[in-house]
């Protein structure tokens, strides 16, 4: 028996949440299909980087308030079941709602009346009600809630406690139970109807994606005229509150922003023109960088290195990283392309030192902190992020 079972509990969303609940005194079981991650986590080793999680994992394992398993039967014994399964996109960029029908079909037989089911990952609007309806049709009396994660990867454990939690439930009782659950972790909860909470999460990610697109479009406009975007950025944001939040240029990637913007587009009958424009700008930035570099250097005679293959700085997560799109573009143009990342161990990758040693031209794919003070041996460094001292940001 346990207080909480988290389906997908050894991933970037589920594991920090499980550790937080375990620290709050709940008995938590992380259920995951990845046997390697389960064994690693049970042995006290975090399968990814998250600030403060290494120490907390050891603490809750020692207290025996947290464990991991691949056995789905643990779902039956939990008071609360949390699923971190989100809505993926198909090859046409449409949401795949069948994953939730599969979820109900697979775990519905293991669930029992009176449990609280919390959907935690981003979902297509209407999914919470859909899941509740399927469970009811299966003859189950389950309280269904949607409480979206709002954290940044790498600092999830910290932000679970510091950020207000959006809480929604299909029924008043589901809402009350979910609210009481998350008040164990954060001082403030914000009640919403399920579809409003679903849209709030999608809006948040689409808004960030659009902001990054604006910066990337402005970067390209300035660059095409040979003007340093970062001088303009400084002039716009220095002691000027109305533009203080204006982001810098760089690859807007990862498993959420693009996907959720396309989900919102599908919800709006594919008429989310602002989101479509953001997608064209952000997804097109690696190609723009390759084209401008090809105009400046004879890439066909050069060995090029990409430093940083994670989707964001100081992360070990390569999912949907645009560094890989940069790699594909450079492989068409260059004699040879090397890849390196201090946080990712992948076949074919080389160390930073080896990449710099062999390269004629270096591209910063991800703005890892280590690159800020790295000695590039006076080799040219293409750095649209302005993440290095010596990088070239005007191409």
Give residue 288's pLDDT.
98
Q: Average pLDDT, stretch 172-197? A: 97
pLDDT score of 245:
94
Residue 98 pLDDT > 80: no
Walk me through the domains of the chain, giving residue ranges and CATH numbers: 2-192 (3.40.50.720), 201-382 (3.40.50.720)
Q: What is the pLDDT of residue 217?
A: 98
> What per-residue confidence (pLDDT) applies to 182?
97
- What's the mean per-residue pLDDT of the chain? 95
Residue 60's region, left for phi above 0, alpha for psi from -120 to 50, else beta, is alpha
Query: Token digits for 6?
Result: 């988290």
SS3 at position 5: strand
Give helix then strand counts, H and E, for the chain: 13, 12
pLDDT band at 178 (very low <50, low <70, confident <90, very high): very high
Question: What distances in angstroms separate CA 93 from CA 122, 252, 394, one per listed residue?
Answer: 15, 17, 33
Q: What is the pLDDT of residues 340-368, one digit of tens each?
A: 999 999 999 999 999 999 999 999 999 99
Question: What is the pTM (predicted TM-score) of this model?
Answer: 0.94
Q: Which of 79-83, 90-94, 278-282 has the lowest mean pLDDT?
A: 90-94
């Amino acid at each position: 028996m346990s207080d909480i079972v988290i389906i997908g509990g050894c991933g970037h969303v589920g594991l920090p949440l499980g550790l937080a609940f375990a620290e709050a005194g709940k008995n938590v079981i992380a259920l995951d299909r990845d046997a390697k991650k389960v064994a690693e986590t049970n042995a006290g080793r975090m399968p990814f980087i998250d600030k403060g999680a290494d120490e907390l994992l050891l603490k809750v394992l020692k207290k025996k308030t947290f464990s991991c398993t691949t056995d789905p039967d643990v779902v039956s014994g939990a008071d609360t079941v949390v699923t971190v399964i989100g809505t993926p996109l198909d090859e046409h960029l449409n949401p795949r709602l069948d994953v939730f029908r599969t979820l109900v079909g697979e775990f519905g037989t293991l669930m029992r009346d009176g449990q609280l089911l919390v959907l935690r990952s981003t979902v297509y609007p209407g999914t919470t009600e859909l899941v509740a309806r399927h469970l009811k049709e299966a003859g189950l009396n389950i309280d269904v809630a949607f409480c979206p994660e709002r954290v940044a990867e790498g600092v999830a454990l910290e932000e679970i406690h510091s950020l207000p939690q959006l809480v929604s439930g299909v029924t008043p009782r589901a809402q009350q139970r979910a609210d009481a659950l998350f008040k164990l972790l954060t001082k403030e909860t914000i009640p919403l109807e399920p579809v409003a909470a679903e849209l709030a999460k999608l809006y948040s990610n689409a808004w960030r994606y659009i902001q990054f697109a604006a910066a990337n479009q402005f970067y390209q406009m300035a660059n095409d005229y040979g003007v340093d975007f970062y001088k303009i950025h400084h002039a716009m944001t220095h002691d000027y509150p109305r533009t203080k939040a204006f982001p810098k240029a760089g690859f807007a990637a990862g498993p959420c922003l693009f996907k959720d913007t396309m989900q919102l587009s599908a919800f709006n009958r594919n008429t989310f023109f602002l989101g479509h424009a953001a997608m064209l700008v952000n997804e097109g930035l690696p190609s723009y960088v390759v084209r401008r570099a090809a105009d400046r250097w004879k890439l066909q005679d050069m060995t090029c290195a990409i430093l940083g293959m994670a989707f964001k700085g100081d992360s070990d997560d390569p999912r949907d990283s645009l560094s890989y799109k940069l790699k594909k573009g450079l492989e068409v143009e260059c004699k040879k392309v090397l890849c390196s990342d201090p946080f990712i161990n992948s076949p074919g990758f080389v160390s930073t030192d080896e990449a710099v040693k062999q390269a004629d031209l270096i591209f910063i794919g991800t703005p890892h902190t280590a690159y800020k003070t790295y000695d590039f041996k006076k080799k040219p460094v293409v750095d649209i992020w302005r993440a290095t001292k010596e990088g070239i940001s005007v191409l």
